Amino acid sequence: MAEHWIENHKRDSWRRQAKASGYRARSAFKLKQIQDRFGLIRQGDTVLDVGCHPGGWAQVAVELVGAEGHVVGVDLEPCQAVEGAVLLTGDITEPVTQERILAELGGARLNVIVSDISPDITGKWDMDQSVAMTLVADVFDFSLPLLRKGGAFTTKLFQGVGVEQLIDAVKPHFSTVRRFSPDASRNSSSEVYLICRNHTPWKGPNRSVRLRYDEAMDELVGGHELEEDVAIQSSTFSVRRKKTSSE
Ligand SMILES: C[S@@+](CC[C@H](N)C(=O)[O-])C[C@H]1O[C@@H](n2cnc3c(N)ncnc32)[C@H](O)[C@@H]1O
């Protein structure tokens, strides 16, 4: 009970601070704390903000990139405008949304990708975790080819099954990959941020992150064995047509 009270109190305190500072969401402090620690975003950068609604991270990103920078955000939910950012509405996994992001970038490469994306929670933890992890893998697949050499990528994850497998799949694309829990999210949930720095496009495998992640998960849960079993069983199965009276 006491722990629950402390958690709520901390959350309210970040919410009050966000309001007092003019940020739309307490999540703004998470990006600020990531930035204080790792300095991912610089003046003049081009930044993609994935899952940007209601716009807290976009506000912080605009401050950091300054007048010469460029911030493009995307979310399923329409966002109120943030001065200095272009915020698109759409599903980042859909080709039509991806085309709009590419059009907005007009051929410019990204310096930084920040993703706070989280799908709707159903309460079925295994399923929620699996959907959240594959969504993150899909975000990597779309946006990694747009990231400059030396660029950075941070994304929210929920601690649980599949985190190690996702980290293994993205590690070859960066010099360093580590987990970080900003104070603003501590105690509030199992969320953690993956901080990927110094993109090394020449080192990463050409195969998709999602495919390599799915393969690692199949191995973890014995998916290959299951598929082989199914194939063997189906080879002994045959359908006999019943004779009709006219034959
Ligand atoms: C925690 S909120 C982001 C908060 C935001 N960083 C801020 O500071 O205001 C997570 C967002 O991810 C979005 N989201 C989930 N799935 C998505 C998808 N497939 N494409 C785009 N956005 C998605 C949700 O609509 C939700 O608004």
d(CA 148, CA 170): 15
Does residue 94 form part of some domain? yes
- The preferred substitution site among 88, 116, 158 for testing ligand 1, maximizing ligand atoms within 8 Å of CB, is 116
Does residue 243 form part of some domain? no
Residue of the CA atom closest to atom 7 of ligand 1: 56
Quick one: tokens of 194? 């993956």
Does residue 42 form part of some domain? yes
Amino acid at 151: G
Q: Is 203 a catalytic residue?
A: no
d(CA 24, CA 31): 13
Ligand 1 center from residue 111 Cα (angstroms): 20
Does residue 244 form part of some domain? no
Residues with CB under 6 A from ligand 1: 24-25, 27-28, 51-57, 74-77, 91-93, 116-119
- Could you report the per-residue pLDDT of 34-65, keeping only the tens digit for each? 999 999 999 999 999 999 999 999 999 999 99
Say which CATH number the domain at 109 has. 3.40.50.150
Cα 166 from chain centroid (whole Å) = 11
Strands 147-158 and 191-199: antiparallel
Does residue 245 form part of some domain? no
> What SS3 class is residue 131?
helix
Does residue 41 form part of some domain? yes
**Apex 20 CA angle, 14 and 24, nearest 5:** 70
Does residue 242 form part of some domain? no
- Could you report the per-residue pLDDT of 84-108, keeping only the tens digit for each? 999 999 999 999 999 999 999 999 9
- The preferred substitution site among 76, 80, 193 for testing ligand 1, maximizing ligand atoms within 8 Å of CB, is 76
d(CA 222, CA 226): 7
What's the pTM value of the predicted model, to 2 decimals? 0.87
Sign of CA dihedral 124, 5, 118, 148: negative
- Could you report the per-residue pLDDT of 123-152, keeping only the tens digit for each? 999 999 999 999 999 999 999 999 999 999
Q: Which domain holds residue 198?
A: 2-235
Helix (H) or strand (E) holding 63: helix 56-65
d(CA 178, CA 197): 9
Q: Which of 156, 171, 203, 242 is catalytic?
A: 156
Q: What is the tally of structural domains in the chain? A: 1
Helix (H) or strand (E) holding 36: helix 27-38
Residue 57 and residue 71 in contact, taking contact as beta carbons nearer than 8 Å: no
Does residue 222 form part of some domain? yes
